[in-house]
Amino acid sequence: MFGHTLREAPTEADSPGHALLLRGGYIDQLMAGVYSFMPLGHRVKRKIEQVIREEMDAAGAQEVTLPAIQPAELWDQTGRRAAMGAVLFQLTDRRDRALALGPTHEEVITRLFADHAVSYRDLPVTLYQIQTKFRDEARPRGGLIRVREFTMKDAYSFDADDAGLDVSYGAMFEAYRRIFARCGVPTVPVQADSGAIGGKGSQEFIFLTSIGEDTIILCDTCTYAANQEKAEFVRPAAVQAAPGAPQATTDIETPGVTSIEALAAFLGIEARQTAKAVFFMATRAATGETFPVFAVVRGDLDVNEVKLANALGDVELRPMLDAEVAQHGIVAGYASPVGLRADVRVVADLSLVDAPNLVAGSNRVGWHTRHVNYGRDWQAAVVADITSAQAGHGCARCAAEGRAGTLRAERGIEMGHVFRLDTTYTSKMDVTLQDAGGGQLTPTMGCYGIGVGRILAAAVEAHCDDAGIAWPAAIAPYDVHLIGLGLDRDAEAAADAEALYAELRAAGLEVLFDDRDERPGVKFNDADLLGMPVRLTVSSRNTKADVVEVKARLATEAESIARGGVVTHVRTQREQGIAACSVEAVEARARGR
79 three-class SS: coil
C-beta separation of 89 from 149 below 8 A: no
C-beta separation of 179 from 55 below 8 A: yes
Rg (CA), the chain: 29
**For residue 288, what is the enclosing H or E element?**
none
Query: Nearest 5°: phi and psi at 344?
Result: -95, 125
CATH tag, 478-579:
3.40.50.800
C-beta separation of 83 from 283 below 8 A: no
- CA-closest candidate to residue 230, choices 346, 388, 54: 388
3-state helix, strand, coil in the chain (%, to 5): 30, 30, 40
| CA 33/CA 242 separation, integer angstroms | 54
pLDDT digits (tens, 9 = 90+) for 445-461: 999 999 999 999 999 99
Look at strands 125-134 and 62-63 and give their pairing: parallel
The pLDDT confidence band at residue 40, using thresholds 50, 70 and 90, is very high
pLDDT digits (tens, 9 = 90+) for 343-378: 999 999 999 988 889 999 999 999 999 999 999 999
* pLDDT for res 592: 65
* pLDDT for res 241: 54
Q: Of 213 and 49, which is predicted with more confidence?
A: 49
Mean pLDDT, range 539-558, rounded to an integer:
95
* pLDDT for res 83: 79
CATH tag, 250-384:
3.90.960.10
* pLDDT for res 197: 60
- For residue 563, pLDDT over 60 is answered with yes
Mean pLDDT, range 551-576, rounded to an integer:
95
Q: Other CB atoms closer than 10 Å to residue 132's CB: what's the count?
A: 12
| CA 585/CA 578 separation, integer angstroms | 11
Look at strands 149-159 and 444-451 and give their pairing: antiparallel
* pLDDT for res 436: 93
C-beta separation of 79 from 428 below 8 A: yes
The mean pLDDT value of the chain amounts to: 94
What is the reported pTM? 0.90
* pLDDT for res 246: 87
The pLDDT confidence band at residue 198, using thresholds 50, 70 and 90, is low
From-to residues of CATH 3.90.960.10 in the chain? 250-384
* pLDDT for res 192: 86
Query: Nearest 5°: phi and psi at 277?
Result: -120, 135
C-beta separation of 231 from 301 below 8 A: no
CA 436 centroid distance within chain: 40
Please, which residues have CB within 8 angstroms of residue 277's CB and are 6 or more apart in sequence?
Answer: 294, 295, 296, 330, 335, 336, 337, 360, 361
From-to residues of CATH 3.40.50.800 in the chain? 478-579
Using H for helix, E for strand and C for coil, what is the string for 343-383? CCEEEEEHHHCCCCCEEEECCCCCEEEEEECECCCECCCEE
* pLDDT for res 590: 78
DSSP string for 434-454: E-TTSSEE--EEEEEEEEHHH
| CA 86/CA 257 separation, integer angstroms | 38
Mean pLDDT, range 369-395, rounded to an integer:
95
* pLDDT for res 195: 65
Does CATH place domain 16-231+409-460 in 3.30.930.10?
yes
